[in-house]
Amino acid sequence: MRLLVVSDPHWAGPAEQARRGYESRAIRNPLQRALAAAWRRGFWLADPLAHNDKLDRILALNPDPDLVVANGDYSVDSAFVGLSDDACCDSAERCLRTLRAAYGDRLLAVAGDHELGKHSLFGGVGGPRFESWQRLGSRLSIPAWWQRDLGRHRLIGIPSTLVALPAFEKELLPAETPLWESERRRVLAEIAAAVDSVGPDQRILLFCHDPTALPFLAALPEVRRRLPQWEATLIGHLHSPAIAGLARALAGMPEIRGLGSTLRRYSSALHRARAWEDFRVRLCPSPTGAQALKDGGWLTADWDPERAEPIPWRHHRLPW
């Protein structure tokens, strides 16, 4: 069978398209605003609202896979509060409508961090909103988590932000923190039971948008017991293989405090990133990748799920 994985399409619907300059307006400090602009223009992505066509091109190049996993981040999240923002929700709905029109019930969708919200990189505004978590199911029809058995493999998709909730603690609204914590306990217990029930001859293939979640997942004894059966973990979030390589190089770095919640969250994730090796992490890049490198694309695997051999992943670059 052929498995297709796409991640981080960051589709921008009309309401988000109307918000040009949204990132700079969220940054009060002029120096930070200039640094953000230089980062975007010089390396990352000069215009995050201008790339809807990339997903359309990927779908056209992959007309008939047997199974498709979309690994999160369907909107631009230009208000930084996820699906609780109507414009973000509309973008995500349009993106998923496109994917479902192409693949129907062959599509499995995972929640990304931008579905739930998070602090902006330089401005420190926004954050996860519990209404975004509720809209994940009611508006996008994405389950909290899912599993599917294929031959000798069990595929599991998890909500990375919820699993890694302690890393987002300072970004939560205080009144919503008990709701988030209750949901996290429930979902973690269900994921632990799913992992624990894997048969001795099965392999685990995990889909987890943000690798920040993996050290928290490793804290579950049910997961630690099954790590020898881990086939791979497909992540998104980092967009570019170059960024993924840098993250591996910085694994174990000290956590940086006192310079804002975003830098603290990123450095905390990198401090724990040595746990990624146990999960056999593989990046599915965004369609664009980093603008300076044009290293984005998608993943496929032509694979027999009845066999125990390693899955032969292929990274396809998308020129632009």
| Spatial CB neighbours of 137, under 8 Å, sequence gap ≥ 6 | 143, 144
Q: Looking at residue 271, what is its pLDDT?
A: 72
Residue 224 is assigned to a structural domain of this protein:
yes
- Taking 60 as the threshold, does the pLDDT of residue 104 lie above it? yes
Q: Looking at residue 269, what is its pLDDT?
A: 73
Residue 81 is assigned to a structural domain of this protein:
yes
Tell me the pLDDT band of 288, cut-offs 50, 70 and 90. Answer: very high
Q: Looking at residue 124, what is its pLDDT?
A: 80
Residue 115 is assigned to a structural domain of this protein:
yes
Residue 319 is assigned to a structural domain of this protein:
no
Euclidean distance between CA atoms 236 and 167, whole angstroms: 18
Q: What is the DSSP string of 251-294?
A: TTPPPP-SS-HHHHHHHHHHHTGGGGGGGTEEE---SS--TTTT
Q: Looking at residue 266, what is its pLDDT?
A: 67
When mean pLDDT is compared across 57-66, 94-103, 291-300, 303-312, the lowest value belongs to 303-312
Determine contact, residues 280/232, Cβ cutoff 8 Å.
yes
Host H or E run for residue 206: strand 203-208
When mean pLDDT is compared across 139-148, 197-206, 214-223, 271-280, the lowest value belongs to 271-280
Q: How many angstroms separate the Cα of 217 from the Cα of each of 112, 253, 263?
A: 16, 20, 22
Tokens 């293939």, located at residue: 205
Which range marks the domain in which residue 172 is found? 2-309
Residue 317 is assigned to a structural domain of this protein:
no
Q: Looking at residue 272, what is its pLDDT?
A: 78
Decide which of 271 and 77 is more confident.
77
Q: Looking at residue 229, what is its pLDDT?
A: 97
Euclidean distance between CA atoms 128 and 217, whole angstroms: 20
- Taking 80 as the threshold, does the pLDDT of residue 168 lie above it? yes
* Number of domains composing the chain: 1
- Taking 70 as the threshold, does the pLDDT of residue 78 lie above it? yes
Please write the tens of the pLDDT for every residue from 14-57.
999 999 999 889 888 888 889 888 988 999 999 999 999 999 99
**Mean pLDDT of the region 174-181:** 98
**Mean pLDDT of the region 53-66:** 98
Residue 150 is assigned to a structural domain of this protein:
yes
Residue 36 Cα to chain centre, angstroms: 22
- Taking 70 as the threshold, does the pLDDT of residue 84 lie above it? yes
Euclidean distance between CA atoms 248 and 260, whole angstroms: 23
- Taking 60 as the threshold, does the pLDDT of residue 211 lie above it? yes
**Mean pLDDT of the region 195-206:** 97
- Taking 60 as the threshold, does the pLDDT of residue 258 lie above it? no
Tell me the pLDDT band of 254, cut-offs 50, 70 and 90. Answer: confident
- Taking 90 as the threshold, does the pLDDT of residue 60 lie above it? yes
Please write the tens of the pLDDT for every residue from 115-147.
999 998 776 899 999 999 999 999 999 999 999
| Spatial CB neighbours of 132, under 8 Å, sequence gap ≥ 6 | 81, 82, 83, 84, 115, 116, 117
Provide, rounded to the nearest whole percent, the portion of the chain with pLDDT above 70: 96
3-state secondary structure of 302: strand
Residue 11 is assigned to a structural domain of this protein:
yes
Report phi then psi at 92, rounded to 5: -65, -40
Q: What is the DSSP string of 86-102?
A: HHHHHHHHHHHHHHHHH
Q: Looking at residue 148, what is its pLDDT?
A: 98
Tell me the pLDDT band of 257, cut-offs 50, 70 and 90. Answer: low
- Taking 60 as the threshold, does the pLDDT of residue 281 lie above it? yes
Residue 22 is assigned to a structural domain of this protein:
yes
